[in-house]
Amino acid sequence: MQDPNEDTEWNDILRRKGIIPERKKEQEITEDQIVNLIESTIDEKTGHASNDLEGKSLDELDELEDEEDERVLEEYRQRRIAEMKELANKSKYGEVREISAEDYVREVNNAGEEIWVVLHLYKSGIPLCTLINQYLGSLARKFPTTKFLKSISTTCIPNWPDGNLPTIFIYHNGNMTKQIIGPLELRGMKLTEAELEWMLGQGEAVSTNIKEDPRPKVRDVLFTSLKNGNDNDDDGNDW
């Protein structure tokens, strides 16, 4: 039997005669339907993306977290390696070197960019100069990025008064930034290495962790003396 919906001339004649019904029209897709189809497709795609984490187990989430931690740690590691390399490049001193007047410009004024220089003017036979040279030797090893130098005072600066010794000059980028002159400023033979380190830190020549003056305060000394005196007092009153 011939399909009445088939698109043929015979069926067209029969339709015109009313013998068979009109051919069923294919359903047209409207513009709204197209929009709805596109929107549903987008929703499906974005829904999959947003549900990527929701669908994962705790073990899978832990694995992702571990991967993120590893990435952060690796970035930190690379940054620390770069910092250590930079520090190693700057850590090229580590000792107190003796210089003459001829070396002064090269070693001090032309030391280089961002280089801190500590120069000690001294003379043999002055006990405080000897003490400071000992301290500077230890500090030079502790702070190898700082250039520590020493020079006999009159060799480096003609006619420099012995009364100004010891003298410490601090330079940065070839310019003097601080000077500590004479035994009074350097606190005499009671000076400790920690105090000298603090002084150099105050001049920014070294990156010290000593932020406060370690010298005992006069008030603390008096309080200790009075306390010890009171502890030793015995008035003999046994009430």
Coil, helix or strand at residue 139 = helix
- For 181, phi then psi, to 5°, come to -120, 125
Going from N- to C-terminal start, the domains of the chain cover 97-203
Residue 33 has a pLDDT of: 63
- The owner of tokens 């993120």 is 68
- For 98, phi then psi, to 5°, come to -85, 135
CB atoms within 10 A of CB 61: 11
Helix axes 127-142, 193-202, angle to 10 degrees: 70
pTM passes above 0.75 = no
Pick the CATH number of 97-203 from 3.40.50.2000, 1.10.357.10, 1.10.3720.10, 3.40.30.10: 3.40.30.10
User: Could you tell me the CA-to-CA distances from 155 to 103, 129, 143, 221 in Å, in that order?
Assistant: 11, 15, 26, 41
Report the chain (239 residues): mean pLDDT per 10 consecutive residues: 63 69 58 63 54 62 68 69 64 88 91 92 96 97 95 92 97 94 96 97 95 80 57 47
Residue 92 has a pLDDT of: 77
Residue 130 has a pLDDT of: 97
